[in-house]
């Protein structure tokens, strides 16, 4: 309990005092302490608790506000690469050899669905979702909260892709929804890099609240009755700090 009290006290400090503390301490020290105070005893899983930090507010409303602000702040950032989407498309083309329907969650400016539509065979169609503003600017993108269920999507898609799953409010609930949106034998494809691992405290924040090791992610889906396997990808810009860069594939 004392951990949460320390965090709440820090959150209430004036910005000027927070900045002074950060400047006086070694670079990254505040974030490391924040991470340790927020961490659980499970080395394979970390989740930032909006309910604990924003105790007197609507935690989910605060979560959405943070994610929408991050959309604007990171609008020029592109995580995934065309090379990796080509690799995944080649795999899907070979595995299914038919017209595919797919959705990419949390795609910001829509590059992922653009590349899937470029490389998939048989006039396949893939669209993306996000919660940011002005999504009409980005082709094949709709406004949708990836944490939510949608009855019309039950048993609909041949595959679902995301590299934004670590932005989830509740990954267990979200993943159950995603699996229910897949057709029988459909595939959920999740990008996983070293930055998604709980050992990498620098990548975890209110914006990226979830960190799960590759093994932890596979075990989570096994507990849901699904089978998993990996596809090796290439780290963006061949950045060693992001390796291993893999795709956890979940077969419904």
- How far lies 68's CA from each of 56, 125, 167, in Å? 21, 26, 11
* Nearest alpha-carbon partner for 89 in 182, 166, 176, 158: 158
Tallying the residues shown for the chain, one arrives at: 252
Cis status of the peptide bond prior to 102, with omega within 30 of 0: no
Count the alpha carbons within 13 Å of 25 in the hemisphere toward its beta carbon. 12
Q: Give the model's pLDDT for residue 4.
A: 54
User: pLDDT 10s digit of each residue in the chain, 252 long?
Assistant: 545 565 566 667 777 776 666 566 555 555 555 555 555 556 788 888 888 778 778 999 999 999 999 999 999 999 999 999 999 999 999 999 999 999 999 999 999 999 999 999 999 999 999 999 999 999 999 999 999 999 999 999 999 999 999 999 999 999 999 999 999 999 999 999 999 998 886 777 889 999 999 999 999 999 999 999 999 999 999 999 999 999 999 999
Q: Give the model's pLDDT for residue 27.
A: 56
Residue 31 belongs to what H/E stretch? helix 29-38
Q: Give the model's pLDDT for residue 23.
A: 63
Contact (CB, 8 A) for 252 and 185 = yes
Q: Give the model's pLDDT for residue 36.
A: 58
Q: Per the structure block, which two tokens stand in for 246?
A: 């893999």
C-beta neighbour count of 46 within 10 angstroms? 23
Q: Cα–Cα distance between 211 and 112 in angstroms, integer?
A: 22
Domains in the chain: ranges and CATH: 1-38 (no CATH), 82-251 (3.40.50.150)
Q: Give the model's pLDDT for residue 47.
A: 85
Per residue in 181-235, pLDDT (tens digit) is 999 999 999 999 999 998 886 777 889 999 999 999 999 999 999 999 999 999 9
Residue 198 belongs to what H/E stretch? none
Contact (CB, 8 A) for 149 and 180 = yes
Q: Per the structure block, which two tokens stand in for 34?
A: 């924040």
- 3-class DSSP state of 111: helix
Q: Give the model's pLDDT for residue 43.
A: 76
Q: Cα–Cα distance between 156 and 183 in angstroms, integer?
A: 5
pTM of the model: 0.86
């Amino acid at each position: 309990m004392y951990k949460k009290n320390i965090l709440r006290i820090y959150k209430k400090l004036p910005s000027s005092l927070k900045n002074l503390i950060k400047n006086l301490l070694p670079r990254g020290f505040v974030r490391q302490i924040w991470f340790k105070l927020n961490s659980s005893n499970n080395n394979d899983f970390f989740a930032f608790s909006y309910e604990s930090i924003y105790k007197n507010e609507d935690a989910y409303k605060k979560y959405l506000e943070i994610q929408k602000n991050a959309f604007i702040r990171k609008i020029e950032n592109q995580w995934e690469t065309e090379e990796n989407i080509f690799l995944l498309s080649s795999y899907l083309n070979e595995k299914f050899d038919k017209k595919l329907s797919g959705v990419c969650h949390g795609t910001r400016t829509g590059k992922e669905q653009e590349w899937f539509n470029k490389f998939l065979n048989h006039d396949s169609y893939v669209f993306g979702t996000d919660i940011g503003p002005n999504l009409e600017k980005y082709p094949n993108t709709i406004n949708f909260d990836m944490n939510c269920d949608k009855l019309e999507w039950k048993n609909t898609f041949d595959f679902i892709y995301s590299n934004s799953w670590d932005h989830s409010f509740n990954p267990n609930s979200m993943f159950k929804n995603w699996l229910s949106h897949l057709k029988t034998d459909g595939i959920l494809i999740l990008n996983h890099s070293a930055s998604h691992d709980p050992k990498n405290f620098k990548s975890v924040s209110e914006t990226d609240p979830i960190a799960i090791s590759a093994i932890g992610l596979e075990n989570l889906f096994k507990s849901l009755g699904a089978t998993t396997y990996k596809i090796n990808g290439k780290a963006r810009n061949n950045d060693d700090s992001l390796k291993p860069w893999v795709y956890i594939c979940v077969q419904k």
